[in-house]
Structure 1
């Protein structure tokens, strides 16, 4: 078995190296090299590559869904079956690594072009493109960090493994893993530069705006446990873009009820194809489904019943109106919850309640008033976290939430999977919360594997 595995890796290595050599060839000496603002703009118009292909390894490991023994056994992707059980096995799938780094490469191309131009010739467009490139680079790295890196703890981040940080489009540049502290420092720096340069209004759907950059900073600060920072950036985002979708206006009977590019979407981003997470495979966790109140419209907007097995439910609440990929972008609904949690944690209880109730009024049956009045910070925090899980189901955030919440004994959770008579567990703060890097990445790139 080991010989077969090594042979497969060797073939992959030869294939990748052959591709690199092929890319080095210049079939046309007149081939255009990007060197203008328009070229930079065209590079950032690549919606398929820049807004898609983000990893799902983390979401496969969450507690929001389950597979029956028959569905798990019939899944054709062995690596996804292993990920479902948190099996610490070698992975060969490099697509979920390559795609985000392709985004990083394109962003670096744009920044390289811009570094050689005079900003004064078109300051507005120069700033917009600069902000966009920094945003995409940071977003891609953050997505990978959530899957492949340990939970961020300030006191030990300098000694934890981070990711390779690419700042140049030079393909010959040797990659090495940075520390977790360095990884998050670059994410924060890039999103900050994005916020400083992006326009308040972005006319092109799919491109980030200033509000999206503030939202991304709120998200990453929450992941890092910097609640004051998360509150500040969430508030800044919502001052620019406070709109929420009223679920009373949606048709519950629609197969995919939520409109694409709706008013909540600050930045759209999609995962790779879902595989076992797909709408006809993944069954919603029973306790999660039962946690929705009968007057909570999300219960009907997000889920549809399934007869096999009886009493089970599928997810249909995609924010991209499709069932093939997962929406992992950023919305105002998420940021209201970031603001609510962060405000509660730093003692701003009234603001936490305001943010939470603003969201819930747009999710609840309009004929049934809803208002959370809990003033005890500990009890309110529990309510907010429960609403966060209900709101952000299948949005690519649960894995990062489980990781950070495991640091607090109040919210630690041991995850369990059952396949027939076999029971598999993932303990709080397990090193397996940092998914292994794909073996071809380790061998070809000469990188260190995640510690176990």
Structure 2
């Protein structure tokens, strides 16, 4: 049983939490097993399990922000402090791992329930739930891979560690780490199943629709460096739903100017509590802040001056309308950037330019933005990647972007932290880009630790 203990803990937590709403109504909770479409719906309606508590360690290690020495010293969570300086020490916090696997387990329970039902009894609802379960599982797997796996390369993906791919809710088999190739294959298969079953519009907040699945595929293929497919799925997403917020319609005097579930949100998801990256504590990287021009409305909608540190700024542009977690979901603005970057890499210059001009026009003061006209593919690509950095700040994408862009010497960066007189660095393509698994996961689950 030792082999299965870690997954048993995950399953137990998931079952007790996710099923509470309908199990509480039963006379004997121990005898209840989800069997109906209603039960499946309730499992997927559990927003706190399916849409929250995704890993934030990657972003804690990113260069979007910095801390003063006093703030770092005052942090009570030693794992978060080690994450900030990329210390290669054992981690004890298993919640980074447990949260996504609770969502995976719920999705697996739903798929098991649906496999035992007759789809023809309510075909529309059956298909939607089938697509939602596959989407949630794929999204959770992708979040785990982005934190605990190395950058995807075709030449090495078959030998690099992936994550355990739990595809059933049972606890009677050992969790084994698949390869990175296996992991991304399963992510893609999940999103493809979602594409085949999700409706164009999903009336339920927190649930994915067809455009969400297209967006998930475009994000995954971008991480894999498969730019033709990333382009095609980004384009498919935006053909269904191209909406952007006109930043001129927002007030920069509001503490949190972006509404939760705003019209750019394709799928809402947030990390567990931000910890060190809490927007009221951390400071936006000063070099990054200076990249925004005066007429770029993101400069005042994303950031506000700090009252504690001179010439420093806090982030306030959360798409979850919160300073306590990171929005890590999918949005149209991200997909515009996926389409533009992929188009530039594929030498579709006109498409890349029109896509970026559409996005940036919505971000600048009315009448002040000058359309891009750069036609050199390499220069244009550099411009797009810079805009991606500026647009997706504090949005859960920087760590994955660093990993994939470090594979290209043109975009590789050395990360540096300064705490007092001490400097810390993270080199491009370091094995530390795949965060260490919690020692609890390694020991009780008997799965191998990441390579060092």
Across the two proteins, how many residue pairs are aligned to each other? 437
1:343 aligned counterpart, secondary structure: helix
Question: Within 2, Cα distance between the matches of 1:256 and 1:145?
Answer: 30
The separation in 2 between residues aligned to 1:86 and 1:298, in whole angstroms, is: 29
Partner SS, residue 295 of structure 1: coil
Relative distance call for 1:419 and 1:29 in structure 2 (3 A) is: closer
SS in 1 for 2:313: strand
1:16 CA displacement: 5.4
Q: Where do residues 281-320 of structure 1 align in structure 2 (5 Å cutoff)?
A: 281-320=281-320
1:426 paired residue number: 426
After superposition, the Cα gap between the structure-2 partners of 1:36 and 1:408, relative to the gap in structure 1 and judged at 3 Å, is same
Is the 1:268–1:330 contact (alpha carbons within 8 Å) kept by the matching residues of 2?
yes
Partner in structure 2 of residue 351 of structure 1: 351
CA distance 1:359–1:443, change in 2 (3 Å): same
CA-atom RMSD in angstroms: 1.8
Q: Deviations for 1:261-295, whole angstroms, at most 9, x for unmatched residues? A: 11110000010001110012210111100000100
- Which sections of structure 2, spanning at least 5 residues, go unmatched? 17-25
The residue number in structure 1 matching 2:366 is 366
For residue 409 of structure 1, what is the aligned residue in structure 2?
409
> Where does residue 22 of structure 2 map in the other structure?
none
Task: State how far apart, in whole Å, the 2-side matches of 1:28 and 1:443 are.
Answer: 34
Scaled by the length of structure 2, the TM-score of the pair is 0.94
- SS of 2:417 mapped into structure 1: strand
1:67-95 Cα distance to aligned partner (Å, 9 max, x none): 11111111111110100000001000001
Residue number in structure 2 paired with 1:55:
55
Partner Cα separation in structure 2 for residue 164 and residue 308 of structure 1: 44
Partner of 2:191: 191
**Residues 1:122 and 2:115 are matched in the alignment:** no
Instruction: State the secondary structure of the residue aligned to 2:272.
Output: strand
TM-superposed deviation, 1:173: 2.2
Q: Distance in 1 between matches of 2:29 and 2:349?
A: 64
Task: Give 1:172 shift.
Answer: 2.4
Secondary structure of 1:223's counterpart equals helix
User: Is 2:28 the counterpart of 1:32?
Assistant: no
Whole-angstrom CA distance in 2 between matches of 1:129 and 1:240: 21
Aligned to 1:327: 327
Partner of 1:215: 215
Alignment partner, residue 246 of structure 2: 246
TM-aligned CA deviation for residue 307 of structure 1? 3.0
Shift of 1:369: 3.1
Report the Cα distance in structure 2 between the residues aligned to 1:243 and 1:29, rounded to whole angstroms: 45
Runs of 4+ in 1 over 2 A off after TM superposition: 26-32
Deviations 1:376-428 (A, max 9, x none): 00000010000000000000000000000000000010000011111111000
SS at match of 1:86: coil
Q: Which residue of 2 aligns with 1:440?
A: 440
Question: Is the 8 Å Cα contact of residues 163 and 180 (structure 1) preserved in structure 2?
Answer: yes
Change beyond 3 A, Cα 1:67–1:47:
same
SS at match of 2:135: helix
> Aligned partners of 2:358, 2:343: CA distance in 1, in Å?
14
Q: TM-score, normalised by structure 1?
A: 0.94
1:70-149 to 2 correspondence within 5 Å?
A: 70-149=70-149
1:364–1:370 contact (8 Å) kept in structure 2: no
